[in-house]
Amino acid sequence: MKKSIIINNKELIFDLDLVAKQANASVLLTCGKTVLLASVAREDSKVSEDFLPLTVSYVEKTYAAGKIPGGFVKRETKPSEAETLTARIIDRTLRPLFADGYLYPTHIVVMLLSCELDVDLQPLALYAASAALSLSDIEVKNPAVGIRIAKDANNEFIINPTLSELENSSLDLFVSGAADELLMIEMKANETNDSMNELSEEELIKALNLAKNEISKISAEYKKVFYEHKKSFEFDLKAPSQNADIYEFLEKNYLKEVKQAINNLAKSERNSELNKIADEILQNNPEFNPEELNYELHKFKKSIVRKQILNEKIRADGRGLDEVRPISILTNILPNAHGSCLFTRGQTQALVVATLGSANDAQTIENLTLKNSSLEKFMFNYNFPGFCVGEASALKAPSRRELGHGNLAKRALSSSVSKNYPHTIRLVSEILESNGSSSMASVCGGSLALKAAGVDSKKLVAGVAMGLIVEDDNFAVLTDIMGLEDHDGDMDFKVAGSKDGITAMQMDIKLGGISPHILELALEKAKNARLHILDIMQKANDEIVVNYDILPKLSIFKIHPNDIPELIGQGGKTIKDIIEKFEISIDIDRDKEEVTLSGQKVEEAKEYIFANVLKKHRKKVEFNVGEEYKGIVKKIAPFGAFVSLKDGVDGLLHSSKIKNLNLKEGDELNVVVSEIKDNKVGLNLV
């Protein structure tokens, strides 16, 4: 049986009973030459723990693009970061749809079986997964779908763009929801024409309204097409272990003790205090059921937290609703790292370290929807060891959450660094203490770590996590939430940006929707907090002392195509000897006819290459005193500026002749040859 739905002028064809018939539900989605299989499988028995046992997997088969996997093992192994992030988008969209008390282990698998170039796979993967869930016997009130929004050259919104359209867009916004309720938002500002392209709060609201209207239409069509074929089943949903007598007992006898436990802000301390209270109650009241007591105690704790915020406008740590926790910043505390920042906000602390590398250090990204692999020159790794929350857990490979937080920080910061920046950049955030918003602390620390490494980033970027408490018609928006408010609240809303607008955001809503008024208020309060944090970061930035002695240096020069084999040498011997001799890296761009040297001894290596390797091939360049040139500043040194003249030859404009000019690399200058001495060209300003 085939069903079709038109989305953004593209036909999506769903085969409902063709494949994977032993799964609870499955669909084969075809859009053009792209084919995805989505399946839902569940166990018949429930888990004993009180959590939703849902797993979402997204797998891209390389045969989908007519390729064989690279590497030693010629088969698909662990998911790539891109696959994991896609699985997270599906999970975060579908998870809120499951009924409370659903405890049946469930696995949603989406497999890419065929793909064509220039296709954005994330929306299609969510469409397939949602269709399979809509056909399964799992009760879902409304189907969830998502769309991506970009901008064209005329600043007009594009719905579900191609990858090439997205590449040229200043905006990357992914929104998912069910019916008229938004469930998840991910947004990123893309650099174009050397601009960060921050999005204003007003523009974001406009884009979200467009997304909401489109999602509502698609969700209604899904319900119409798939729900008539939905399987039926009555689930034994676990009812909460409620005991009104225990709750009343806690209200009368343990209000003060639970409030004190709440004020122990660290998660480990808070749980320890609550466990002590539970043990004391059971000792004095052995007739109480431990499971019921534990449920009522945590329900009572949550109620106190929420009522105190809504009625008294006071948070567990005594802050006002709009108050940001105290911030302290230390930069370049690691003497042999290129750049470092220890950013502390309340009980959340991130040590973010920047490392600069050459083009050879860029991360190779395999994308099945692109002809060739791409190189990622801006990387962000986020690590969350157990000790940061007082847990004695083993160090493991990065979890899905760690990959997601690292990706969020990367999206927030990437547009602040020019795409043409010559170094490869790797930022690593080590979370040393965590009580809420460690990803946003990573953004703040990462922005300053870039500055501490001497990176000429366009603007400082800060991030803040917002929360929400809603009871009937009463609500409170919380600024800079801690872990307790994240756990017991109704929204996790992270916003990052510069003083001029938003560069990235991520929102997950537990309510099943959010009103436009609350969203606008949250964005306004996030902006105020962001500007407050940026003021503190600016003061720290003004005091940064860059350790130029350990930073890698770059030298870029032109090379004739006929000289490239000479530089490489037979079997690569010459270039390997140079790399070993001067402890540098060498990157040769044949298309640009350009050589890039990176390391500490680049000038010595460059002189060696021209004097000993390319000497017999080099064309002698003649200069005469009095000749004028329009040159480009290639490098600023303490004694002057090196200016590119012609055929890869630089001249020196001495510092005594620069006067009051504030020169920087890339500036154009009109210069005249003032002297030629020992094959070195001296310059004056025209």
Residue 452's closest CA among 341, 531, 364, 356?
341
- What's the CATH code of the domain at 295? 1.10.10
Is the domain of 639 the same as that of 609?
A: no
Asked if the structure places residue 234 within a domain, the reply is no
100 and 168 in a single domain? The answer is: yes
The Cα 288–Cα 653 span in angstroms is 85
Residue 491 shares a structural domain with residue 570: no
Helices (H), 543-601: 564-568, 573-582
Nearest to 479 by CA among 309, 620, 629, 625: 309
Query: What is the pLDDT at residue 268?
Result: 57
Other residues' Cβ atoms within 10 Å of the Cβ of residue 67: 11
CB-CB neighbours of 674 under 10 Å:
17
Was 472 annotated as part of a binding site?
A: no
336 pLDDT band (50/70/90 cuts)? very high
Give yes or no: residues 444 and 505 share one domain.
Answer: yes
Of 519, 548, 577, the one marking the end of a domain is: 548
> Which H, E and C letters describe 338-401, residue by residue?
CEEEEEEECCEEEEEEEEEECHHHCEEECCCCCCCCEEECEEEEEECCHHHHCCCCCCCCCCHH
**Residue 486 assigned to a binding site:** yes
Answer with the one of 604, 619, 634 that is the final residue of a domain.
Answer: 619
Count Cβ neighbours within 10 Å for each residue of 184-211 and write b for 16 or more, e otherwise.
Answer: bbbbbbbbbeeebbbbebebbeebbebb
The reply to whether 544 and 681 lie within a common domain is no
pLDDT of residue 146 exceeding 90, the answer is: yes
CA triplet 525, 526, 530: central angle to 5 degrees? 120
Beta strand 501-509 with 181-189 is: antiparallel
Q: Provide the residue range defining the domain that includes 130.
A: 2-229
Six-digit token pair at 289?
């059921």
User: What pLDDT does 663 receive?
Assistant: 83
pTM of the full structure: 0.84
Coil, helix or strand at residue 114: strand
Q: Among 89-98, 309-318, 338-347, 417-426, where is mean pLDDT lowest?
A: 309-318
Among 164, 194, 229, the domain boundary falls at 229
pLDDT by residue (tens digit) across 432-448? Answer: 999 888 999 999 999 99
235: in domain: no
Q: Are residues 562 and 666 in the same domain?
A: no
Check: CB of residue 67 under 8 Å from CB of residue 115.
no
Percentage, residues of the chain above pLDDT 90: 55
What does the H/E/C string look like for 15-38?
Answer: ECCCCCCCCCEEEEEEECCEEEEE
pLDDT band per the 50, 70, 90 thresholds, residue 664: confident
- Residue with structure tokens 């790292």? 337
Q: What angle do CA 422, 424, 426 make, to 5 degrees?
A: 145
**Residue 174 lies inside a defined structural domain of this protein:** yes
Q: Are residues 359 and 471 in the same domain?
A: yes
Query: For residue 307, is pLDDT > 60?
Result: yes
Number of residues written out for the chain? 686
Which residue's entry shows tokens 């609201």?
A: 205
Beta bridge mates, 673:
683
Cα 307-310-312 angle, rounded to 5 deg: 85
239 in a structural domain: no
The answer to whether position 322 is within a domain reads no
Look at residue 267 in the predicted model and tell me its pLDDT: 56
For residue 321, is it within any domain?
no
Q: How many CB atoms lie within 10 A of CB 72?
A: 5
Mean pLDDT of 3-31: 94
590-644 tens-digit pLDDT: 888 889 999 888 989 988 888 888 765 445 567 888 888 888 888 887 788 888 8
pLDDT for the residue 571: 87
Instruction: Identify whether the C-beta of residue 417 lies closer than 8 Å to the C-beta of residue 457.
Output: yes
Task: Please check whether residue 440 is in contact with residue 479, taking contact to mean a CB–CB distance below 8 angstroms.
Answer: no
CB-count burial class (<10 Å; 0-12, 13-18, 19+) for 1: exposed
Same domain? For 154 and 187 the reply is yes
471 and 529 both lie in a single domain: yes
Q: Rounded mean pLDDT of 645-656?
A: 80
Look at residue 265 and tell me whether its pLDDT is greater than 60: no
- The reply to whether 122 and 254 lie within a common domain is no
Is 410 inside any structural domain? yes
Q: Phi first, then psi: give them for residue 260, nearest 5 degrees.
A: -65, -40
Dihedral sign for Cα atoms in the order 409, 439, 84, 122: negative
For 363-408, how does the pLDDT look when each residue is reduced to its tens digit (9 = 90+)?
Answer: 988 888 887 778 899 999 999 999 998 889 899 889 999 999 999 9
- Mean pLDDT, the chain, integer: 90
pLDDT of residue 643: 87
- Asked if residue 160 is part of any domain, the answer here is yes
Whole-Å CA distances, 569 to 404, 562, 580, 597, 612: 44, 12, 14, 17, 13
Edge-to-edge strand ranges of the sheet holding 462-471? 157-159, 144-151, 171-178, 181-189, 501-509, 491-498, 462-471, 474-479
**Cα 322 to the center of its chain, rounded Å:** 25
CATH number of the domain residue 481 falls in: 3.30.230.70
CATH number at residue 604: 3.30.1370.10
pLDDT at residue 9 tops 80: yes
Region class of 136: left (phi > 0), else alpha (psi between -120 and 50), else beta: beta
For 451-489, write each residue's pLDDT tens digit. Answer: 999 999 999 999 999 999 988 888 999 999 988 888 888
How many separate domains does the chain show?
Answer: 5
Based on the domain organization, do 517 and 541 belong to the same domain? Answer: yes
The tokens describing 97, both together, are: 């749809």
**pLDDT for res 27:** 97
Domain check: are 395 and 283 in the same one? no
Strand ranges (DSSP E) for 23-114? 25-31, 34-42, 54-60, 106-114
Mean pLDDT of all residues in 108-127: 96
